[in-house]
Amino acid sequence: MPDKNEIEAIKEKLLDSCCNFQKECCQQIEQNTMEQHPHIAILCCSDSRVPPELIFKKEIGEIFDVRVAGNVAIDTSVIFSLEYAVEHLDVDVLMILGHTGCGAVSSAEDLIGDENPILKEIRSSFSLNDDHYISNIVRQMEMLPRRSDVICQALEKESLTLLGALYHIEDGRVEFIDRDLD
């Protein structure tokens, strides 16, 4: 655990970075102060190597992202956040973004009798595809509309498009995933 001096050094570095951010992004900050108008919502893993705004070269206000280990939509706070993006921000696209090297998927592969709901959810996708990263994305694409009336209705009205994608951490490539694996 860091001592008091190390904590202060961390805070100072973060504040310095924030000052640089403010200078570099001043116009974007001003443009998005009163409201946001993203066109895409992304459910992605909380892995620090998978920042959607950087991967897709988007600016402040362009992506509404919800991050959770394993990019799973089983928790009400995750689902309600995505519903907010669909209902109130009128996003056109909802993407499930998984990634190679996902620790949650690896942990689910090693799961033996664990009751962790995230790992159980990921493990339940394994029958869909031999590539478990892909099977988890496809399961979330299948289950999210079943778990959310708001998202289901938007998809039925064709006011929302649901996409799946796999980010390859080893080379930065993004591969779009077809919902039908056949």
Q: Other C-beta atoms within 10 Å of 125: how many? A: 23
Phi-psi region of 25 (alpha: psi -120 to 50; beta: other; left: phi over 0): alpha
CB 173 within 8 A of CB 164: no
DSSP 80-126: HHHHHHHHTS--SEEEEEEETT-HHHHHHHT-SS---HHHHHHHTTG
Residue 167 has pLDDT above 90, yes or no: yes
Banded model confidence at residue 25, pLDDT cuts 50, 70, 90: confident
Banded model confidence at residue 179, pLDDT cuts 50, 70, 90: confident
| H-helix or E-strand spanning residue 43 | strand 40-44
pLDDT at 181: 55
Q: Region 40-57: what's the mean pLDDT?
A: 96
Q: What is the pTM of this model?
A: 0.89
Whole-number percent of the chain with pLDDT over 90: 74
Query: pLDDT tens-digit profile of 55-78?
Result: 999 999 999 999 999 999 999 999
Query: Minimal CA–CA distance to 70: which of 172, 143, 140?
Result: 140
